[in-house]
Amino acid sequence: MDNGSKKFPYALDLASSLMAMALLLGFMYATQSVLIPLLFSILISISLFPLARLFERLRLGKATASILSVIVAIGIIWTIGWFIVHQSIIISKDASAITDKMISVLERAQLWVETTFGIKRTAMMDQFRDQGNKLLSNAGAMVSATFGSIGNILAGVVLVPLFSFFLLYYRDFFREFFFKAFRSVNQSKVDETLNKIYYVVQSYLLGLVTVMGIVAILNTIGLMVMGIEYAWFFGTLASLLMLLPYIGIAIGSILPALFALAVKDNAWYAIGVIAWFQVVQFLEGNIITPNIVGSKVSINPLMAVIAILLGGMLFGLSGLILALPLTATIKVLFDAIPSMQAFGFLIGEPEKEHLKVNSTQELLIKWGIVRKPKIEKEIKVEIDVDTEATPPTTTMHYKEIHESEANPYTELPKKKEDNSSAH
């Protein structure tokens, strides 16, 4: 009689997991007005935890330390926002001159298109007019969406600091909740997983802030060398757009390029701006970020792009920002659950052994699909006797033969069934 626990088929387990994930995504989409501020609050509270601990070491109460940490964060965010708005107002004072130059640039572009492709200006103006009418027809929907976004922003301005305070103040209370919720699991494993989530998310956030600072300096230096006005504004704005992974810095290069096209007499300045920003993006992706963040947040680029697309579909702009830290957290959870470790492996970065030329052969050997090449050697001896020579000579030839040369990879023999009966 089999007293073992009943196991369900793997297909049924997989189907139930996918169904649970679909229900979870639906729940997240339905509750995004509360969930998005909560997720941002979790990220902010994790980044503020070292500051709160510092205030607590100064013998301030936990509540006071949490409040001061949130106030510091608000001050930093307000300063950055004030700088962007202030610079935008200064630039807008020259809007009339910039507009006149942009009109002249558009006129030259129309003349070039007409000369090169034979498209008349009237046809181009008809196209512009049609596009303008389409925009006006959708103006009502755009205004409604804008006011809806402003409402969400205002709600976030209130909820995010409030959530961040309580997450810092009640952090040990929430930790004990996880111990109680996963009572059947080894408590040290639960504690280790929570610490790893904190370490991964904090490494990502602090690394992102550091990289954004370096990129802002590089962008500004390049713009200053080319003589572009408001270099600090455009350089900082492009670095802030790095919150949108992979596409942020590319979008950030468009504004200074258009500005250079408007204020400079030569179009090469705009091309130089775009080229410099692409160089900075290359340095950020291949040198700066790998050396600062390193392997602390190991997500392979394919899964990162998929996560960003799914995050944008689920939460819009906020989803693009939250995609990578959430994916890193999910990877830590998958690595801690034995049945989900394969998916955690899929999210992570490939190891060096997966990128070798002969990686397929090594992989088949690792998983026992083919036999490892034998290194036993055999010596073949050939003796030649020349009787016609005076005196007769004998020559011996040695050749080392490896069995693996003939058939280096052979299939493993199938295990023979044990048909012997017990006596």
Sorted by sequence, the CB contacts under 8 Å of residue 272 that are 6+ apart come out as 226, 260
Decide if 242 contacts 249 (C-beta within 8 A). yes
> What is the full per-residue pLDDT of the chain (423 aa) written as tens digits?
444 445 667 677 777 777 887 888 888 888 888 898 999 999 999 999 999 999 999 989 999 999 999 999 999 989 988 888 888 887 776 656 666 666 666 666 667 767 776 666 565 555 655 655 555 455 445 444 444 445 566 667 788 999 999 999 999 999 999 999 998 888 999 999 999 999 999 888 888 888 899 999 999 999 999 988 888 888 988 888 888 877 777 788 888 888 887 777 777 888 899 899 989 988 887 888 877 776 566 788 889 889 988 888 888 888 888 998 999 999 999 888 887 888 889 998 888 888 888 888 888 888 878 776 655 556 666 777 666 766 777 776 666 555 444 444 444 455 444 444 444
d(CA 249, CA 281): 7
d(CA 110, CA 118): 10
Q: Cα–chain-centroid distance for residue 18?
A: 23
d(CA 171, CA 48): 12
DSSP 333-367: HHHHSGGGHHHHHHHSPPPGGGSSTTHHHHHHHHT
**Within 245-373, where are the H helices?**
248-252, 254-263, 268-283, 289-292, 301-315, 317-336, 341-347, 359-366
Residue 154's nearest CA partner among 144, 146, 143 is: 146
Max distance between CA atoms of the chain, in angstroms, equals 111
d(CA 269, CA 276): 10
d(CA 208, CA 193): 22
Decide if 39 contacts 326 (C-beta within 8 A). yes
pTM, to two decimals: 0.72
